[in-house]
Structure 1
Amino acid sequence: MPQSSLFGYRLVLLLVGASFPAASTLAAEPRIAGPVAADIVKVRDGDTVEVEAHIWPQQVVRVAVRLRGIDAPELKARCDAEKTAAIAARTRLTALLAPGGVTLSNISGDKYFGRVLAELNTADGTDVGRALLREGLVVAYGGKTRRDWCKTRPTPHSAGAATGHAG
């Protein structure tokens, strides 16, 4: 099987597998290096977007993508401070993604909600997760305990020093 066909086949299996809870456990281990070209369909919040990934010519897969290595405050917040921070993170992510298409890399299945986990770069090469970290709108996240956004809000200097970066 040609390398490009094998890549497309693996990506489809990974993306479809992430849609089913039992299969997502199996799909969580393998990773696809990428890059995979994609168009933003919707920015859900400060760390999740919906994309149409161009897996091979004339073939598109629509999937939710959680940004690897970061955690943003939740829009369905427990307090006003978290909700305000969540809106700011989503607004900035939307602005970072406005200029055009993106690429996904380091793609794997995610443990929740049938989405994939990936790094996301803009057309000009900006790593949006790192940009949000530098600006203090999100914190580094290694998949463990989430930050209590109602007690503390990150600053540009402390955002990257949280729980790690594996995502």
Structure 2
Amino acid sequence: MRSLCFLLLLGLAPAFAAEESPPPPREIDGPIMARVIKVRDGDTVEVEAYIWPLQAVTVAVRLRGVDAPELKGQCEAERATAREARDRLKALIGDGPVHLRRVSGDKYFGRVLADLATETEPDLGQRLLREGLVDAYDGGRRRNWCATVGSLPHTPPAKG
């Protein structure tokens, strides 16, 4: 009798497997509209993302592809450059909403990785990169800002 039950269950296994849900996506294309709550530094903002009508999620968003100097950096040059990057990101965001695209998980819990855009700027991270306020970043080793902050290809921020 046990063998018969086992064979019956074994025969039903493919039917149960077919009913399983697909895994959740590893990346969401977007755009997802959001309101910036706080600009933490030159490459991370805290947003209230509107994921469904009348429903929002508060989450930290790391800008994809860039690395900003740290506000609590190891030298004054890094800290000064970090403040400049943060302030420029605040100015670029202004008062309007932002849009998250290509949203995926980040290596740190509670944060996502995304492209961030405004109505007038399609990619804020790339804008900061062009202005020399951040460095290109692919998830590997970060640059030593104290050793290289004077060698940044820095140009004054463009207005608007």
Q: TM-score range by the shorter chain?
A: 0.7 to 0.9
Q: 2:153 aligns with which of 130, 152, 155?
A: 155
Letter in 2 for 1:121: A
Letter in 2 for 1:36: I
Q: 2:79 aligns with which of 83, 89, 103?
A: 83
Contact 1:133 1:156 in 2 (8 A): no
Alignment RMSD = 1.7
Runs of 5+ unmatched residues, structure 1: 1-25, 158-167
Q: Give the Cα separation in 2 of the matches to 1:113 and 1:56.
A: 22
Letter in 1 for 2:105: G
Q: Give the greater-gyration-radius structure (CA).
A: 2
Give the alignment's TM-score, normalised by structure 1. Answer: 0.75
Letter in 2 for 1:137: L
Letter in 2 for 1:85: T
Partner in structure 2 of residue 53 of structure 1: 49
Identity %, equivalent residues: 59
Letter in 1 for 2:36: I
* 1:113-134 residue CA offsets vs partner (Å, 9 max, x unmatched): 4200000001224310011001
Letter in 2 for 1:88: E
Q: CA deviation at 1:99?
A: 3.8
Q: CA deviation at 1:156?
A: 4.5
How many positions carry a matched residue from both structures? Answer: 131
Partner in structure 2 of residue 32 of structure 1: 28
Q: Give the Cα separation in 2 of the matches to 1:149 and 1:113.
A: 25
| Runs of 4+, deviation exceeding 3 Å | none
